[in-house]
Amino acid sequence: MINNNQIGLIKQILEPFDPTEIGIFGSYARGQNKENSDLDILVSFGKKISLFDLIGLEQELSEKLFIKVDLVTRKSLSVLIEKHVERDLEKII
């Protein structure tokens, strides 16, 4: 699981890009994370975001949280994967 400080940091980093949805899925959402687990974050934005911005956000989140972050946009999810993501999803906003 992630703590409230980490949640606040995630919101702070993503806020300039107008997130309409932020959620955690995968091992952290299930409470099954291990030392080498990555943090899977699902996000939707209210404004258009470039691939370079998305990569930059992923890197900044990883550096500030000291956890490897995989930042995934809802638009990029395939229908097959979306079911698995929704099953674990813990919404932040």
Q: Mean pLDDT of successive 10-residue segments in the chain (93 residues)? A: 94 97 96 95 95 97 98 92 92 95
**Residue 65, pLDDT score:** 98
pLDDT at 80: 87
| H-helix or E-strand spanning residue 90 | strand 90-91
- Residue 30 amino acid letter: R
Q: Whole domain around residue 25: which residue ranges?
A: 4-91
**pLDDT at residue number 43:** 98
**Count of domains forming the chain:** 1
CATH number at residue 43: 3.30.460.10
Phi, psi of 82 (to 5 degrees): -55, -40
